[in-house]
């Protein structure tokens, strides 16, 4: 039993330290003037409106736009089980509720995963001659999203977290403890 404890305690401490580092990185916004904000998709409600989590991401992106930190917003998300294109719902919300000009919104309707969003957003950026981005998502997702976008070819990537918290964030943070190293190992 002592051997198990001697092994388990350091492992638990290491995992907690890693989780704390991911959280600290995601909560420390480093938003700077950039060409685009990249908003990662999330659940759309059965009535076709953004979930609270998604709305918080969009509100944050609109705030960055109004502050002049981004000139364009890429909304990225596929079609969920509810039958709605996340990207279209996101664009409609930004144009309607946040009064962001449609010309400032770029859609990626194939961003079904973080990696797909990064790849598609980097391609959109390249096609428009953009080199810098601010990733907008939940705090626990910033580190991996920023890394994925840089790996996909974006030269400069900053982060700004959505101001929204819920109980499932603890699970999501734990998931990042597996997902982030998987991304690092995959790149090698």
Q: In what order do the strands lie in the sheet with 156-161?
A: 105-108, 70-76, 34-40, 132-137, 156-161
Torsion of CA 176, 180, 186, 187, to 10 degrees: 150
Q: What is the DSSP letter of 153?
A: T
Give per-residue pLDDT as tens, 40-86. Answer: 999 999 999 999 999 999 999 999 999 999 999 999 999 988 899 99
Q: Which two tokens stand for residue 3?
A: 């051997």
Confidence at residue 12, expressed as pLDDT on a 0 to 100 scale:
83
Q: How far apart are CA 97 and CA 124, in angstroms?
A: 25
Helix (H) or strand (E) holding 157: strand 156-161
In this prediction, residue 13 carries a pLDDT of 86
If we measure between CA atoms, which residue out of 124, 22, 110, 28 comes closest to residue 73? 124
Task: Name the 3-class secondary structure at 137.
Answer: strand
Distance of CA 107 to the CA centre of its chain: 15
* pLDDT one-digit tens code per residue, 110-165: 999 999 999 999 999 999 999 999 999 999 999 999 999 999 999 999 999 999 98
Q: Where along the chain do its domains lie?
A: 2-186
- Give the predicted TM-score (pTM) of the model: 0.91
CATH of 2-186, one of 3.90.1300.10, 3.40.50.261, 3.40.50.300, 3.40.50.620: 3.40.50.620
Q: Is 8's pLDDT higher than 90? A: no
**180 vs 97, which has greater pLDDT?**
97
Report the pLDDT value the prediction gives residue 4, as an integer from 0 to 100: 66
pLDDT at site 187: 60
Looking at residue 156, its pLDDT comes to 95
């Amino acid at each position: 039993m002592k051997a198990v404890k001697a092994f388990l305690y350091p492992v638990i401490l290491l995992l907690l330290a890693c989780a704390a580092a991911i959280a600290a990185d995601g909560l420390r916004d480093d938003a700077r003037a950039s060409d685009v904000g990249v908003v990662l998709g999330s659940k759309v409600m059965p009535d076709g409106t953004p979930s609270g989590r998604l709305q918080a991401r969009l509100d944050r992106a609109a705030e960055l736009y109004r502050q002049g930190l981004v000139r364009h917003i890429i909304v990225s998300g596929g079609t969920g089980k509810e039958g709605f294109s996340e990207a279209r719902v996101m664009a409609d919300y930004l144009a309607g509720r946040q009064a962001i000009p449609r010309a400032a919104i770029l859609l990626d309707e194939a961003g079904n995963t973080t990696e797909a969003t990064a790849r598609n957003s980097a391609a959109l950026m390249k096609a428009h001659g953009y080199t810098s981005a601010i990733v907008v998502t939940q705090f626990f997702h910033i580190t991996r999203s920023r890394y994925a976008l840089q790996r996909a070819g974006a030269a400069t990537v900053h982060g700004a977290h959505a101001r929204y918290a819920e109980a499932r964030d603890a699970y999501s943070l734990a998931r990042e403890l597996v997902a982030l190293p998987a991304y690092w190992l995959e790149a090698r």
